[in-house]
Amino acid sequence: MSAPVRVGIVVGSESDVQVMGACGEVLDEYGIGWEMGVMSAHRAGDVVRAYALAAPGRGLRVLVAGAGAAAHLPGVLASLTTLPVIGVPLAATPLAGFDSLLSIVQMPPGIPVATVAVGSMGARNAGHLAAEIIGLADSDVAARIAEQRAKMRTRVQLPEGFTLE
Ligand code: RP5
């Protein structure tokens, strides 16, 4: 049986789908169900609104929005729901994602968007952060996060002659 969909990944354009797939890969590693939709906040604002309003009732717990250029999609979603929204700035213009980063991170107080790094690194961290939010109420996910962290720690290589107390 597949896991219930808990994370809605939303992108502004088909051109964003590939990089945001990295978020889905991380969620797969944690066994968290997710879905992805393409819905531009400027070309189809009505669709974004309908999706955001329906999200809690559909069982979604976190929204992840990847967008380039003016990158208003995460902020618009956040304005329409109290689900946590994670914004991933994407490089889609000659400004290489710096435009999207500033746009997403500078949400005025009261309507937060948790902003991660530009591009695929941010897409992956959005997956990890969404898992941590879901892990607050799901002990299986929390245990998988702990395992993942322990695995990362094994990559430490101590210099010869140095031991941990
Ligand atoms: C944003 O503008 C999208 O998120 C995308 O990154 C960028 C360019 O989209 P297209 O106009 O090329 O579809 O809305």
pLDDT, residue 2, reads 85
Q: Is 51 helix (H, G, I), strand (E, B) or coil?
A: helix
Per-residue model confidence as pLDDT tens for the chain (165 residues) = 689 999 999 999 999 999 999 999 999 999 999 999 999 999 999 999 999 999 999 999 999 999 999 999 999 999 999 999 999 999 999 999 999 999 999 999 999 999 999 999 999 999 999 999 999 999 999 999 999 999 999 999 999 999 998
Dist. CA 111 → ligand 1 center (Å): 23
Q: Tell me how far CA of residue 7 lies from CA of 1, 51, 109, 123, in angstroms.
A: 17, 12, 24, 13
Judge whether 40 and 13 are in contact, CB under 8 Å.
yes
Dist. CA 67 → ligand 1 center (Å): 7
Query: Which atom of ligand 1 lies closest to the CA of 66?
Result: 4
Dist. CA 12 → ligand 1 center (Å): 6
